[in-house]
Structure 1
């Protein structure tokens, strides 16, 4: 899902740049940043789950 968001944001950004639509390009940059943030959130959650699993199995 995150990769789809990032691709959509890149398309908006490029389309805005080619047509001279600054708002569309800015929206693409914003959505791209949001997609990267969500991906980072997912990685952090996965790392926390892994640590939690290792801690529980060590008990």
Structure 2
């Protein structure tokens, strides 16, 4: 399982937790799940940015300083 799949799974888990908390009326669980979902989205975005940077460096021969 690659990193992106793990991040997608993490986001889906947070959505399920938020849904469960909402149905149970547990506001703390809902808030925690929203935080986890946002964190998963940020990590996925970070991974996509790093992949884009790596690809650009490969294509243009740029080196890290």
Taking structure 1 as the reference length, the TM-score comes to 0.91
SS across alignment from 2:61:
helix
Instruction: Give the match's secondary structure for 1:14.
Output: helix
From 37, 41, 45, the counterpart of 2:42: 37
| Cα root mean square deviation, aligned | 1.2
Question: What stretches of structure 1 of length at least 5 have no aligned partner?
Answer: none
Choose the corresponding residue for 1:53, options 55, 58, 63.
Answer: 58
Bigger radius of gyration among the two? 1
With normalisation by structure 2, the TM-score equals 0.83
User: Can you give the 5+ residue segments of structure 2 that lack an aligned partner in the other structure?
Assistant: 1-5
The number of residues matched between the two structures is: 57
TM superposition shift of 1:55: 1.4
1:17 aligns with 2:52: no
